[in-house]
Amino acid sequence: MRVVALVGNKGGAGKTTLCVNLATALNARAPTVILDADPQRSSLQWRDLADRDDAVEVADAVDDVDAAVGDARARFDFIVIDCPPSVHAPQTARVLALCDVALVPVQPSPLDIWATVHIEDKVDEARRVNPGLRALLVINQLEPRTKLSQLMRQALAELSLPAATTAISRRVAYRSSVLEGRTVMDLGSRGSAAAEEITQLIEEVVGT
Ligand SMILES: Nc1ncnc2c1ncn2[C@@H]1O[C@H](COP(=O)(O)OP(=O)(O)OP(=O)(O)O)[C@@H](O)[C@H]1O
Ligand SMILES: [Mg+2]
């Protein structure tokens, strides 16, 4: 497994947040690059804020996803791709056609769950050219003690895409770290619970 993509059909689901955190955690294991395929270029903005050399590299893949992935395969062990918030965007279609795993962050809200139905169709379409494509929903901004979050798992079970066992909680650490071009791994004890769930998600997705 080398190419992990954050895809979705809803703005603000957490694609960029998970992208920079997962890529930074992967980079501690093996050379990793982020490819930003979203015309909003949020991952590139995050990298601009990170005024240090050891932050994970981010390359622009908006105009040509295939070329960017081709370049990156030669130099990196892991490629993490941040996608636009629409499955109808041409970048999302290209990414689904070539990635190994598509992670779909979903917030615990009915509107977000309904928006993922369109993703299922696009994943099925992509499997015609990319039969090995794995796609996993990732619950994001979970508030474990709320009734809605408990109902969320039941609602997701009715979709055809499986959900990752690891859910990402709503935590200030995710917001404050990104503002500084950092990740939850840089926050010491303030970020340790978040860092732990990011590690768990990586183990679930790419193995140890
Ligand atoms: N687990 C979380 N806990 C707290 N805040 C979060 C979490 N995940 C995302 N956020 C916040 O939610 C907002 C949207 O997240 P993000 O920008 O990562 O979503 P996105 O899917 O990339 O959005 P877009 O579709 O616009 O690209 C941001 O303010 C981010 O800090
Ligand atoms: Mg984004």
Mind spelling out the 3-state secondary structure of 20-64?
HHHHHHHHCCCCEEEEECCCCCHHHHHHHHCCCCCCCEEEECCCC
Position 148 scores a pLDDT of: 75
* Structure confidence by residue, pLDDT tens digits, 154-202: 788 888 899 999 999 999 999 999 988 999 999 999 999 999 999 999 9
For residue 206, being part of any structural domain is answered with: no
Query: Ligand 1 pocket check: which of 174, 177, 184 to mutate, most ligand atoms within 8 Å of Cβ?
Result: 174
Give the chain's domain count.
1
* Structure confidence by residue, pLDDT tens digits, 66-75: 999 999 999 9
CATH number for the domain that contains residue 97 = 3.40.50.300
pTM of the full predicted structure? 0.96
Given a cut of 90, is residue 61 above it in pLDDT? yes
Instruction: Judge if the beta carbon of residue 38 lies within 6 A of ligand 1.
Output: yes
* HSE value, Cβ hemisphere, 13 Å, CA-based, for 90: 7
Ligand nearest to the CA of 194: 1
In the block, tokens 């959900």 appear at 163
For residue 9, being part of any structural domain is answered with: yes
Ligand nearest to the CA of 8: 1
Position 57 scores a pLDDT of: 97
In terms of residue numbers, what domain contains 34?
3-201
